[in-house]
Structure 1
């Protein structure tokens, strides 16, 4: 009866003394020089050592008593039954010319970069044991090898990929920038993130720099550093569409001195408007201060939290912790107030039995409700503009919808009319010049969700003239075959809730009226007229998808859209980049050089673009 082991082997045609493994094609001796001395011991042993899954399958097939006995003896057979050369080879490290150890080291370097692992992990005993078990022939190099050899090699590989991606017929770039300081070491870094739209109307986001920026953050130092960063990548100023920055005066002046177009971050401007309009008022600031003391009481006392948790259970409320706010982020203050209001009954019950450092009065609870109602639209808008798909086209429509909402009178305004008016005034002050900003205006018109519908009628002739100038200055028009409009395939838009920020967009569109037109265009002027005459696509539609489908109908407009719709409206990407920076420069890696930190961040943020290919 043939052994089931032959399901995994075949006799060598060159020499019957050997069997060929069907899994790895390796020649295995059959245990003798004469056919009568052939056995399956070596074959079984090879499966056990090299192919665990096939070995398990074989063990299930070995049903006869004799086969089971042979299987037992083979499993216990010493490794010396393998050919001496193979045994010695398994015990020897890889040669210096072998590619395998270099490939393994490269994968370890990827693991360190992608998963925020410290470079010192290669010197940890547990990691050494793991690598020795996975491949005994691989000698794990020390930390210095990974720092001085593997890290620069991987950085150069990713750098080349990003450089090639940016040189692929890209006409213009938009950027975000910010400054970050580490909490665990004296290190400051200046970021530069790039966005661009390729010929297929796909938006790309890459990290170019997160470089050391020690010393005083003067206007001169900032301007010189930005010029150096663009020169490093060979990006001429003519291709710099805009840089989104914080509202700091030194950053704003540095951009002007470097002759670089820039705009403030919309999210930061909203933060300033909320701080001026609401958070700076005495009544609100007192409530916020009391709320922080309440949250801090439970945050720093496990006993107090346990008592609150018991009360929450007795009241049938979900077990939740109170949220601590961050003074520099107004929406975190909103979250704190929401968590306090949600636990109002539990906090009142707690205050009846135990001491609290502060407690809201009935009028203050009403004020908390008013604050939440006032700030909810700002939170909704902040979430919208912080999306990865948000662009400069969202600024004008969003602010018009927000001001329209603040101008409306609601039932909940009885105790907050003054605050609402102050908040409206702060918004109007901070965003008073947006319609005169060329980038915002052109981006809005080229977004098929908005077009010119969110501008006053008196401004529309000027806007068309401005767009005509942009098209006249653009690349040569190219005729292409027409295709289906993207609006035909967009999902239906949800009906907005009355009185919400979303509803204000619909209200503004309704006031503008319906548009329609024929389907013929040739010149840039006729393209513009036809495009503006057609209805907008739903707000949940995708502008770049629209232009991908309609670049044949509106070639001049489509090329302009590649430039203007690549501009973000916030520098959120740069802020998120420094979350990565905080993960790289932590307590275990607080002695990393700034150069190595930049390489680690660069690889972490950009390597996923390579892995998608």
Structure 2
């Protein structure tokens, strides 16, 4: 018979030693998620992929995060906005410190950019070589600039950028396009840099003009001789793409003529310099389809002639 005073401690030790691991205890062994690290990674993802702030409030994203970590603390869009602004301020301070350490000159490029809704923005980019002889390119500012865009206003705005970034005595040159107002910008810069005694080479190389912009002006001047044909192509593409029924008819023309449908009908845009070339390229590929469509649609008056 068993001794009634004997305990069961040996059996407990045996069970703990030879028990089967079911994985239920892994949750308690997993390190807790740091909320600050979680917010930092979410903010970095939004910046990298250009997601909206409300991305963190999407139900699907929250469901995924809750599945991965049931005790996750979800964040709001305002918190995300604040975190991203803090990241921007921190990166800006690091860049200012790096620019303060360099001994070489900085050259800037500045240009105006128009959005689809015709809001005007100014972009300022800095190029420099650091202490390790590594070439860098950094966007210093991308700012909405309401009209008027006179040389005096833009000049004072760019001078404020120099003061803000602490590079007013390190400028070598400034690359601008051929807009008339930029002559006033350069004059303001020369006067300011002369007063600061930081004008390099007496200002001979201060103003550098955009080669791409000059080339674009030359091409536009040449295209004026083909305005009639280009206008027909533009209006024809607009006419076909504005109606799904017309687009289906145009695709039927391609099928009847045995032409491939790999290229899309491209319509040019003033703010995209290569869009006119893409539009003409697609029109040349579908020239027979245009002429065929002209026969089946009496309202289509944009067919190209042989000499065009």
TM-score (norm 2): 0.80
> For residues 455-474 of structure 1, what are the structure 2 equivalents within 5 Å?
none
Question: 2 CA distance for matches of 1:257 and 1:36?
Answer: 87
- 1:130-157 per-position Cα deviation (integer Å, ceiling 9, x unaligned): 2222222331222222223x12321133
Question: Is 1:134 matched up with 2:68?
Answer: yes
- Once residues 275 and 129 of structure 2 are traced to their aligned partners in structure 1, the CA distance between those partners, rounded to angstroms, is 33
- Aligned in 2, Cα 1:360/1:222: closer, same or farther, shift over 3 Å? same
Cα shift readout 1:195-240 (whole Å, capped 9, x = no counterpart): 1234665431111111343353233321221111111111024x21
Inter-CA distance 35–252: structure 2 relative to 1 (3 Å threshold)? same
Helix, strand or coil for the counterpart of 1:323?
coil
- Output aligned runs, 1:183-198, within 5 Å: 183=116, 188-198=120-130
Partners in 2 of 1:267 and 1:176 — Cα distance? 13
From 313, 316, 321, the equivalent of 2:255 is 313
* CA distance, structure 1, for counterparts of residue 67 and residue 105 of structure 2: 51
SS in 2 for 1:44: coil
How does 1:575-590 map onto structure 2 within 5 Å? none
Deviation at 1:286, TM superposition (A): 1.2
Segments of structure 1 that go 5 or more residues without pairing to the other structure are: 1-30, 51-85, 365-613
1:174 matched to which residue of 2?
A: 107
User: Equivalents in 2 of 1:317, 1:162: separation in Å?
Assistant: 54
Q: d(CA) in 1 for partners of 2:72 and 2:255?
A: 56
- 1:263 aligned to 192, 208, 211, which one? 208
Equivalent position SS for 1:258: helix
What are the Cα deviations for residues 396-424 of structure 1, in whole angstroms up to 9, with x where unaligned? xxxxxxxxxxxxxxxxxxxxxxxxxxxxx
The alignment status of 1:44 with 2:22, answered yes or no, reads: yes
Matches within 5 A, 1:78-477: 86=28, 100-148=34-82, 150-183=83-116, 188-198=120-130, 201-237=133-169, 239-259=170-190, 261-276=206-221, 278-281=222-225, 284-319=226-261, 320-327=263-270, 329=272, 331-355=274-298, 356-364=300-308
Equivalents in 1 of 2:122, 2:76: separation in Å?
Answer: 31
TM-superposed CA distance for 1:288, in Å, is 1.2
Q: Greater strand share, 1 or 2?
A: 2
**Partner of 1:515 in structure 2?**
none
Q: Which has the higher contact order (CA 8 A, sep 6+)?
A: 1
Query: Cα RMSD (Å) of the superposition?
Result: 3.0
Q: Secondary structure at the match of 2:172?
A: strand
Say how many residue pairs are matched. Answer: 284
Distance 1:33 1:160, change over 3 A: farther
Q: CA deviation at 1:249?
A: 1.6
8 A contact 1:275–1:330 mirrored in 2 = no
How far apart are the structure 2 equivalents of 1:214 and 1:293? 32
Q: Relative to structure 1, is the Cα distance of residues 32 and 253 closer, same or farther in structure 2, using a 3 angstrom cutoff?
A: farther
